[in-house]
Structure 1
Amino acid sequence: MKGYSYLVAIAAILVDQLAKLIIINRLELYEQIKVIGNFFIITSIRNTGAAFSILEGQQLFFLIITPLVVAGIAWYIHQQRKSGNTWLFTALGLVLGGAIGNFIDRLLYGHVVDFLSFNFGSYSFAVFNLADTSLTIGVIMIIVDTLLEDRRARKAARNNEGKDQPKEILHTED
């Protein structure tokens, strides 16, 4: 089952890198294509930080931390290999693929290629890419899985209350 996570990761990386390659080759930096009015715009930008441009210019940090995160995810996938939890393996694959997708950008270009821009009236959400989307969806799935697993464990504990205790033996007199 663990191979499934790696297939999801590879798919996420390929889709992300293909989209970024199209953006790099077809759009000038800061060029925009309106897809749905001002709500959804393809915008070619570069980001040397993380989400919302935090840790701007800290490429060395990202080049060191990402392989550690990837190794941690791979270790966890290996630890969970017998669980058969497709939801969790999908989530881990998405996180792994997203992390590697942005890591490839940092290695190749020294920055991350971002291009998905959404505006909600006067509020513009930070421009992001498909690797970021993969990471976000994967993390949300992991949170949901954790909450559901906790709920299942509490329910199982309630159902097992008293089952491990010896039953009272009723004695009747003849």
Structure 2
Amino acid sequence: MEKTTLFSRPLPILLLVIVAMLLDQAIKVAVEMWLPFQQAVPVIPMLALYRTYNYGVAFSMLSGMEGWFIVSMRLVVVAFVIWLWRRTPKDRFFAHLGYAMIIAGALGNLVDRLIFGYVIDYVLFHTATWSFAVFNLADSFITIGAGAIILDELLQMKKRDH
């Protein structure tokens, strides 16, 4: 009998998604209220707050596409991740955690897209000669979620090898 992990059940995953989305939206409201538009505010070397608007998807890809296409694409991604979540064995903690985080991040950015027509980004990693794409907490949820799923796959491979 397989052990059921916390995020393989609907209620915990729903609560995580709601809390993550509320935190994401609260930070974006604060950013809109207090952070100057497209002016770097240094935090530590190589990290600044920098409010900008993303009209595309991650790293401003597809920024020339119609809004309805991007919204539809995000909804398809969320539906696909929910489908994966339901098909994944219930004992795979990191996979289920990763799915929850990806759903939370995708929905957090979808809320921005539906309300404003763009996503509010505000975190910038940079050096004197290079800068990474500006991103937000929802993007971080998606990235950490993907990392959790990869970790889960690696752990499964190690388990099969023994």
1:23 aligns with 2:18: no
1:77 aligns with 2:85: yes
In the superposition, the TM-score normalised over structure 1's length comes to 0.80
Could you say what secondary structure the match of 2:126 adopts? strand
Report if the CA contact (8 A) 1:42-1:115 is conserved. Answer: yes
Counterpart Cα distance in 1 of 2:33 and 2:112: 14
Report if the CA contact (8 A) 2:94-2:151 is conserved. Answer: no
1:31-62 per-residue CA deviation (whole Å, 9 max, x = no partner) reads: 3322114x111111001012221111322221
Q: CA deviation at 1:140?
A: 1.0
Map of 2:124 onto structure 1: 117
Report if the CA contact (8 A) 1:117-1:125 is conserved. Answer: yes
Q: Which runs of 5+ in 2 are unaligned?
A: 1-7
Q: CA deviation at 1:11?
A: 2.1
Paired positions, count? 153
52, 55, 58: which one aligns with 1:51:
58
Map of 1:90 onto structure 2: 97
Could you say what secondary structure the match of 2:125 adopts? strand
23, 48, 72: which one aligns with 1:64:
72
Map of 2:40 onto structure 1: 32
Runs of 4+ residues over 6 Å off in structure 1: none
Identical aligned pairs, as a percentage? 33
Comparing 85-94 and 104-113, the one that deviates more: 85-94
Counterpart Cα distance in 1 of 2:29 and 2:90: 37
1:49-100 per-residue CA deviation (whole Å, 9 max, x = no partner) reads: 12221111322221111112112222222333x6133222211111010000
Report if the CA contact (8 A) 1:41-1:117 is conserved. Answer: yes
Counterpart Cα distance in 1 of 2:26 and 2:91: 31
Counterpart Cα distance in 2 of 1:137 and 1:120: 23
1:13 aligns with 2:8: no
Report if the CA contact (8 A) 2:92-2:152 is conserved. Answer: no
Counterpart Cα distance in 1 of 2:113 and 2:122: 15
1:142 aligns with 2:153: no
Could you say what secondary structure the match of 1:63 adopts? helix
Q: CA deviation at 1:133?
A: 0.5
